[in-house]
A and B are shown apart, each in its own frame.
Chain A
Amino acid sequence: MTTLLEVSGVSVSFDGFRAINNLSFQIGEAELRAVIGPNGAGKTTFMDIVTGKTRPDEGRVTYGEKSVSLLSLSESRIAQMGIGRKFQRPTVFEDQSVADNLMMALKKDRNPFAVLMFRPVAADRDRVAELADEIGLSAALHRKAGELSHGQKQWLEIGMLLAQEPRLLLVDEPAAGMTLAEREHTTDLLKEAAKTRAVVVVEHDMEFVRRLDCKVTVLHEGAVLAEGSLDHVTRNEQVIEVYLGR
Chain B
Amino acid sequence: MSDMTLSAPARRPLVLRHPSVLVFLTILALFTLGVTLLSEGAGIGAISTSFVKTLGKTLCFCLVALAMDLVWGYCGILSLGHMAFFGLGGYAVGMWLMYERTRMIVADSLAAAELPPTAQEISDGIATQIFGVVGASEFPPVWAFAHSLPLQLAAVVVVPGLLALVFGWLAFRSRVTGVYLSILTQAMTLALSLYLFQNDSGLRGNNGLSGLQNLPGLDDIPQSAVSLWFFWASALALGVGYLFCAWLVSGKFGSVIRAIRDDETRVRFLGYPVEGFKLVVFTLTAVIASIAGALYYPQAGIINPAEIAPIASIYLAVWVAIGGRGRLYGAVIGAGFVSLLSTWFTGGQAPDLVLGPLRIQWVDWWTVLLGLSFVAVTLFAPKGIGGLVDLAARIKSPDRHGADLGPDAGALREREADQ
Contact = CB atoms under 8 A, between A and B. Distances in A.
A and B directly contacting (CB within 8 A): yes
Interface of A: 51, 53, 74-77, 79-80, 84-85, 87, 91, 93-97, 99-100, 103-105, 110-113, 115-116, 118-120, 125, 128-129, 141-142, 144-147, 160, 164
B412 interface: no
A99 B6 contact: yes
28 contacts: A74-B273, A75-B265, A76-B268, A76-B270, A87-B266, A91-B263, A91-B266, A93-B255, A94-B262, A94-B400, A95-B2, A95-B398, A95-B400, A96-B258, A97-B3, A100-B4, A100-B255, A103-B252, A112-B279, A112-B280, A113-B280, A115-B256, A116-B251, A118-B251, A119-B11, A142-B5, A147-B399, A160-B270
A104 B259 contact: yes
A113 B253 CA distance: 9
A116 B3 contact: no
A96 B255 contact: yes
B4 A99 contact: yes
A112 B273 contact: yes
A146 B273 contact: no
B276 A111 contact: yes
A75 B259 contact: no
B141 interface: no
A104 B6 contact: no
B217 interface: no
Interface of B: 2-7, 11, 248, 251-253, 255-256, 258-259, 262-263, 265-266, 268-274, 276-277, 279-280, 397-400, 405
Q: Which 3 A-B pairs have the closest CB atoms?
A: A146-B398, A79-B271, A80-B271
Nearest to B8: A125
Contacts of A116: 248, 251, 253, 280
Contacts of A91: 263, 266
Contacts of A146: 397-400
Contacts of B258: 93, 95-96
Interface centre among A93, A111, A144, A147 (most CB of B within 10 A): A93
B3 A76 contact: no
Contacts of B4: 97, 99-100, 103, 120
A125 B256 CA distance: 17
A74 B270 CA distance: 12
A82 B276 CA distance: 20
B185 to A, nearest CB: 20
A103 B254 CA distance: 12
A76 B252 contact: no
A149 B305 CA distance: 53
Interface centre among B2, B265, B272 (most CB of A within 10 A): B272
Contacts of B400: 94-95, 146
Given A95-B2, A141-B6, A104 B252 contact: yes
Contacts of B263: 91, 93
A118 B252 contact: yes
Contacts of A97: 2-4
B259 A93 contact: yes
B262 A118 contact: no
B6 A164 contact: no
A104 B256 contact: yes
A91 B280 CA distance: 25
B269 A100 contact: no
A128 B252 CA distance: 14
Nearest to B280: A112
A51 B266 CA distance: 11
A139 to B, nearest CB: 12
A224 to B, nearest CB: 24
A104 B270 contact: yes
Contacts of B279: 112
B251 A76 contact: no
B269 A115 contact: no
A104 B399 contact: no
A79 B259 contact: no
B409 to A, nearest CB: 12
Contacts of B274: 76
